[in-house]
A and B are shown apart, each in its own frame.
Chain A
Amino acid sequence: MLKKLTPHQDMSGAEIKIKDAVFPSPFETGLEFSAPARGPWNIVHTGMLIPESHQIFACARGCLRGVILTAAEMNAMNRMSWVSLEENDLFSGKMESDLEESCAHILEQMPGKPKAVLLFISCVHLFAGFDFTIVLEHLQERFPQIDFIDCYMHPTMRKSGLTPDQLMRQQLFAPLKPLPENKTAVAILGNDRPADPESFLCNTLKNNGLQLYDITLCKDYEEYRKIGESSLMIATYPPAKAGAEHLAKRMNRKFFYFPISYSYAENAGNQKKLIDLLGLPSVDPEEQIKKAEEALANAKSVIGDMAIEIDYTSTPRPLGLARLLLEHGFNVKRVYADVFIGEEKEDFEYLKANFPELILTATVHVKMRFSGKGIRTEEPILAIGQKAAYFSGTGKFVNIVAGGGAHGFEGIVRMCEWMIEAFQNEKNTPEVIKLKGLGCESCLL
């Protein structure tokens, strides 16, 4: 008795040509659908980056379910505990003391104490006027050997100030204390996966004898704490920018934002700024541009005119990537995003003027429940990103999230390699995209 109850193929309202779209939110808001593409990291995955840490979530059962099973699927239940919030708790007047006692109970039961505890509260706590500070202070007094980190799972506030993702990437470094500044140490902050060691950024640091700190590479808590000696703090991933800047300011260190970009001019400009900040001799990007051009030409010769669709989970700059590919003759048909970050404004305006037929498609619109799974597969599609793969129903897709660790000119070369690989090797899309937190361990494999 498996059947499609109400098929919908009229996508008006869920898609728009860029020439008719407004920046940064091309679509009317409304009820939301969630596509089953689970590669993007959530706050549990990000929090697990702190070595030797433990997470405790205090929230309602419905909210706990998602985070607990995130940990379960990444075989990390030994690093996850919870305190469920029930209706009576909201009116008991004991929310703070109850949470303190529950956390203490959990920690007392643990055979080995964690170095840090990420304690998450939820929207309801904030609306109830919960005094988080007093709970953290008391826990710190009771467990002085543990660093307690205030963390938040508060999606109700996702449009007010920092998003939960941005805040998580900020709190990821909350326990760090300023160590004596090491002029030869540089930190890349807030990314999910190690920066590409072949990137200009990493190569420059390595070739000039600089120490690179990256939380994704920290083996233990002691190494993590050494991030505090960095003289320069760099963010490359937009949701990490606010947190990295905050940390640099708190520690009175230099901050540099070197974002993932597909613009030659922007990458060249940022390379120069980095070189200047480090006091190194200037580098001509001509050779890098040549390699990027060769990679793009090679990818075009392989992929030809196959339609390409890009989604916002694959890269924070889907419009920038679309622009680069369109400028190099690729047949980019569609970009999936519900909203664009401010950094994409220039590319949006450029595409609007030069490629007005480019289609923008929402991912959360109610009609998107019935998109994908082969409905629009009249022509073969190469997708970049899991949501583009799901909605287009293709098995040819670049399986990355958050830029995939690629960066700068070398990131463009890497993207071309990934596109060729995706073109040549079809994937079982539902099986691949169902895995949570791309790159994390999974019990489903």
Chain B
Amino acid sequence: MKQTARIISIYASDTAGVCSMLYELGGMTIVHDASGCNSTYSTHDEPRWYQHDSMIYISALTETDAILGNDARLVDDIVRAAEEMKPRFLALCGSPMPMMIGTDFDALATELEQKTGLPVFGLHTNGMNSYLNGASQALCAYLKRFCIEVPKEKKSVNIIGATPLDFSLNGSVGSIRSWLKDNGYQVVSCMAMGSSPEEISRAGKASVNLVISSCGLAAAEYLKKRFGAPWVSGVPYGKSFSAQLLNALELAEKTGICQSPHAARTGTKKVAVVGESVTASSFAAALETDCGLSVRVLCPQALQPSILADCDSLIDCEDSMAAAFAEADVVFADPLFEPVCPRGTIFIRHPHEAFSGRCFSGEIRNFVCRELKREMFSL
């Protein structure tokens, strides 16, 4: 049954995606919410809390404000906080109640921009959509506002779509950077982990963009349209697939045509990987090329199904996931999916922070450029 789960977890929401994408960029992110979004985000969705300061707040919406449509208090509170905290920008996003009462975030952004003199983004979230949606919106809004015109340089690249929700803090993003540098690429920026706002503002310098999760696709499309750089989606997991991805980067830069090499699979239902479309699909490609497994992706949420292979499936509920697991001999998925995996199917723990938060973050392995072998998974 859709929207219903007896025992599995749920993926992070759009508001968490906004907060996660903007976390390191020096702004102030305000979730228009009564209570809960902030503690859920800081507890389960944000492992950088102690290492890196950021201004993530809620508006503390009350029943009275909601009934009376009292946006003035929200505006006053944000203006006062902005004066005290001096952020680089303001990002305002909504939870379910503002959607219910029809809060106009674009209008609020305009008003706040006039009152604070800061760049302000009004983001269209409602706490009902995926983190991918929120992160995607936030990154696009940021780039539209802050990217400057710079000369393009050959063999330079932006990494787009990095958040701990998909990559944890296990060194994967650093490994992707190193892989690019080792192969002669200059990394212009990584959006949005480990790069300064100034570096990201010069994103137009890149000759090609590497999209490492689907929340980076819209931003890559925007950069393509504005600066002409094509994008390649994929994460350099495994030995052989990372080589394929490198070829795709070179091809894209040469031809100007976007590439999704991870989608060139002809998987079967016997081995399944569950997860976000670009990361899971790249992992599936790595298993296929390094281990000789024929793998399909079960994708609980996808922003652009077009980057998935024909053999892959969008799975939108617990029942469908259980049915898909039953067709498989081997399943790679977050441990919180295990209760719906039937006996007889080999379940391989493949934690994903966007699904299980910090429960298994210590188990999340860095597979970037690392040759995958069946023994690694006891296969």
Contact = CB atoms under 8 A, between A and B. Distances in A.
Interface of A: 1-8, 13, 29-34, 36, 38, 59-66, 68-69, 72-73, 77-78, 80-87, 89-90, 101-102, 105-106, 109-110, 122-124, 127-128, 153, 155-160, 364, 366-367, 369-370, 373, 430, 434, 436, 443-444
Interface in B13-65: 13-16, 24, 26, 30, 33-40, 42-45, 48-64
A31 B57 contact: yes
A38 B84 contact: no
B153 interface: no
Nearest to A110: B6
B4 A106 contact: yes
B359 A444 contact: yes
Q: Which 10 A-B pairs have the closest CB atoms?
A: A62-B127, A66-B40, A62-B13, A155-B35, A155-B34, A31-B57, A34-B38, A156-B34, A34-B39, A30-B77
B43 A82 contact: no
A31 B40 contact: no
B77 A6 contact: no
Contacts of A105: 1, 4
A31 B58 contact: yes
B36 A66 contact: yes
A155 to B, nearest CB: 4
A369 B34 CA distance: 18
A32 B16 CA distance: 16
Given A65-B40, A69-B359, A367 B84 contact: yes
B50 A64 contact: no
B346 interface: no
A66 B39 contact: yes
B260 to A, nearest CB: 27
B9 interface: yes
A30 B128 contact: no
A83 B11 CA distance: 13
Given A5-B24, A60-B96, A124-B97, 13 more contacts: A2-B48, A6-B53, A60-B126, A61-B11, A66-B44, A68-B9, A78-B7, A78-B339, A82-B4, A85-B96, A86-B128, A102-B3, A443-B359
B324 interface: no
Contact of B356 (A2, A72, A364): A72
B78 interface: yes
Nearest to B77: A30
A53 to B, nearest CB: 15
Contacts of B100: 90, 123-124, 127-128
Contacts of A102: 1, 3-4
A65 B5 CA distance: 13
B364 interface: no
A61 B43 contact: no
B63 A31 contact: no
Contacts of B119: none
Interface string B206-238: 000000000000000000000000000000000
A36 B6 contact: no
A66 B43 contact: yes
Contacts of A84: 3-4, 10, 128
B126 A87 contact: yes
Given A69-B356, A72-B336, A156-B62, A5 B5 contact: no
Nearest to B14: A62
A31 B60 contact: yes
Interface string B76-110: 01101100111100000001110111000000000
A72 B6 contact: no
B357 interface: yes
Interface string B117-142: 00000000011111000000000000
B81 to A, nearest CB: 5
B1 A64 contact: no
Contact of A6 (B50, B59, B87): B87
A32 B38 contact: yes
Given A5-B26, A82-B10, A73 B359 contact: yes
Contacts of A60: 13, 95-96, 126-128
Contacts of A434: 43, 358
Interface string B324-363: 0000000000001001000000000000000011110000
28 contacts: A1-B195, A4-B52, A5-B26, A29-B60, A31-B77, A31-B81, A32-B60, A36-B50, A60-B126, A61-B10, A61-B127, A65-B40, A65-B357, A68-B10, A69-B359, A72-B9, A72-B357, A77-B7, A77-B8, A78-B339, A123-B97, A155-B34, A159-B62, A159-B63, A366-B81, A367-B85, A370-B53, A444-B358
Contacts of B61: 156
A6 B64 CA distance: 33
B196 interface: yes
Contact of B54 (A5, A127, A156): A5
B315 interface: no
Contacts of B171: none
B194 interface: yes
A415 to B, nearest CB: 27
Contact of B128 (A5, A8, A85): A85
B147 interface: no
A29 B81 CA distance: 11
B16 A36 contact: no
Nearest to A443: B359
A154 to B, nearest CB: 8
A82 B6 CA distance: 7
B81 A156 contact: no
B66 A127 contact: yes
B117 to A, nearest CB: 17
B4 A369 contact: no
Contact of A2 (B51, B55, B62, B66): B51
Contacts of A370: 53
B12 interface: yes
